[in-house]
Amino acid sequence: MPRVPVTLRALALTMFLVPAIYSPARAQGGYTPPKRLELTPFGSYQWGGSFDTQGLANIVAGQISEQGSFSWGAILSFLAAGNSAVELYYLRQDTDVDFKPNGGQSRTVGAGFANNYVQLGVRQGLPKTEGLAPFITASMGINVLDATNSESSTRFAWSLGGGAKWMAANQKVGLRMDIRWMVTPVPSGDYGTWCDYWGCYTTQGTDWLHQGSAGLGLIFAF
């Protein structure tokens, strides 16, 4: 039987011993491999939001004012280098609304209106402070406006925010606090005209739905 060269035998022995020695040392040193994925279900309080509806063909012309209420959702975070992450999140708010039709009296419509935010964005971490990891966020996507007895209206939307994370020692679970400013542009129903050398054009104005959100979520890291 041919003899295995000394070099190969030494290499095989090294490949066997190094993981065996390194792994216990890593465990004794308290090293925890970084996670690459986080799922964060959350609950929050959402406030603000009023806009004119005459620019929406599927809602009676007037003004809607949303009342503050509980909202819920989930965030899926894909962790990247540099303490940053790409995030996909969904938030739903069911709320009572006050509605003032054009030429009519304002009245509380009650339940039956909802915001559904679906957003893709980024999270950038900041230096840790006393165990907390602060961060800032930015996102864009859509807000689906649902009203009782009316078809939904899907509008472009974006958000800016910030917050902080706290993770347990095993890096598998933690808490996340978020504050967001959320903006949805909607058509105002006002029109303007302008002309140039090529002809005259009509443009529609824009109204803005502004909302704030403050929430707390439970992080599950994988």
Q: Band of the pLDDT at 58, cuts 50, 70, 90?
A: low
CATH class of 32-221: mainly beta
- Assess whether pLDDT exceeds 90 at residue 191: no
Q: Are 157 and 140 in contact (CB under 8 A)?
A: yes
pLDDT digits (tens, 9 = 90+) for 5-55: 544 454 454 444 444 444 444 444 555 556 789 999 999 999 988 877 665
The single-letter code of the amino acid at 208 is W
- Assess whether pLDDT exceeds 90 at residue 202: no
Instruction: Tell me the percentage of the chain whose pLDDT exceeds 90.
Output: 46
Residue-wise over 38-65: b if at least 16 C-beta within 10 A, else e? bebebebebbebbbbbbbbeebeeebbb
Q: Band of the pLDDT at 63, cuts 50, 70, 90?
A: confident
Strand 62-66 and strand 133-147: the pairing is unpaired
Q: Specify the pLDDT at position 89.
A: 96
Q: Specify the pLDDT at position 22.
A: 41
How high does pLDDT run on average in the chain? Answer: 80
pLDDT digits (tens, 9 = 90+) for 110-159: 667 899 999 999 999 999 888 899 999 999 999 998 877 777 889 999 99
Q: Specify the pLDDT at position 73.
A: 98
Tokens 């800016």 correspond to 160
Task: Calculate mean pLDDT across residues 164-191.
Answer: 88
